[in-house]
Amino acid sequence: MSKTEELLNTLELEGKPALIGYFPAGYPTVADSVEACVAMCESGIDILELGVPYSDPVMDGLVIQVATEQALTNGFKLSMFFDLLKQITSRVATPVLVMSYWNPIMQYGVERFAKDLKAAGGAGLITPDLIPDEAADWIRYSDELELDRVFMATPSSSQARLDQVARLSRGFIYAVSTMGITGAREDLDAKARGVVSGVKSTKTDVPVCVGIGISTAEQVTEVNSYADGAIVGSIFIKAYRDGGIEELKRTVKQLKGGN
């Protein structure tokens, strides 16, 4: 079984909330991002979602857009990515899932990316603009290498599509909480519960985590009451941007300690 699934199942059994934290590789620099990610893991996130900066991030709100643009401006290259990942995985035991838009992976080569990801200790991939219908290559190589494969389930997905996502995901299923892009939102959409129950009704064993718009400890607790984990991104980047690594750690602890 996927280590990510094992971990989420264990937390579930122990009645502990799961917190998945996003941070972009190379932001603001490669070295800084390694330190930030390690600090997040050490401060209590259960799974790290490491973003690959991309020029056209259509799923991302302004906070992440600006951060990833800065990473690219500061010279981030895909050739640095796996070394960066390895630096993180060699220092912490937290599973690291890579979140990347599809074109960088396609250009790198799907098989090559999968192998290098595995070799650097990565757990798998979250693909915001790759739906299962277009993912034949990735499905094949992630099966061969036993990598996690996180597809998205959304409020507008038909039950047939939720079935497909549930069947083809490994590690966890990313339930999109609301119709929209990343960015902290005041109140979490009730739609999140609907998506989770739609996915759960497929009787899948794969955990379901909720993301997009989560920014407070209360939301993390609430989400964990009906799902298997909460995914948080923009608020961590804001914390780091405005208050450096100490503020980042404090925010992780605050969101994690909200049980």
Partner 1 sequence: MTEKTHLQDQNGPYFGEYGGRFVPESLIAALDQLEETYAKAKADPTFALELDELNKTYVGRPSIITEVPKFAALAGDIRVFLKREDLNHTGSHKINNVIGQALLAKRMGKKRIIAETGAGQHGVASATAAALFGLECVVYMGEVDTQRQALNVARMKLLGAEVVPVTTGSRTLKDAINEALRDWVANVDDTHYLLGTVAGPHPFPTIVRDFHSVIGREARQQMLDDYGFLPDVVTACVGGGSNAIGLFHSFLDDEEVALWGFEAAGEGMDTMRHAATLSKGKVGVLHGAKSYMLQDEDGQTIESHSISAGLDYPGVGPEHSWLKDLNRAQYFGISDDEAMQALKALSQTEGIIPAIETAHALAGVIKYGSTLAPGSTVLLNLSGRGDKDMETVGKYFGFLE
**For binding to partner 1 (CB under 8 A), which residues are involved?**
54-59, 61-62, 65, 69, 72, 77-79, 102-108, 128-131, 133-134, 151-158, 161, 165, 176, 179-181
Of 5, 6, 14, 49, the active-site residue reads: 49
Report d(CA 194, CA 123) in Å as an integer: 28
Residue number, 24 or 57, with CB nearest to partner 1? 57
Nearer to partner 1 by Cβ, of 75 and 244: the residue is 75
Smallest distance, partner 1 to C-beta of residue 165, A: 7
Contacts (Cβ under 8 Å, ≥6 apart) of 3: 95, 123
Known active-site residue 222: no
Catalytic residue, chosen from 46, 60, 148, 228, is: 60
Nearer Cβ to partner 1 (151/236) = 151
Angle made by CA atoms 240, 59, 51, in degrees to the nearest 5: 45
Residues 26/33, Cβ–Cβ less than 8 Å: yes
> Least distance to partner 1 from the beta carbon of 141, Å?
17
- Sheet with 96-99: list strands edge to edge: 148-150, 124-126, 96-99, 47-51, 19-24, 229-232, 208-211, 173-176, 152-153
Q: What are phi and psi of 37, to 5 degrees?
A: -65, -45
Minimum CB distance to partner 1, residue 24 (Å): 14
Please report how close the Cβ of residue 3 comes to partner 1 at its closest, in angstroms. Answer: 25
For partner 1, the closer of residues 17 and 132 by Cβ is 132
Instruction: Let me know if 35 is a catalytic residue.
Output: no
* Pick from 141, 218, 127, 108: nearest CA to 173: 127
Show which residues are catalytic. 49, 60
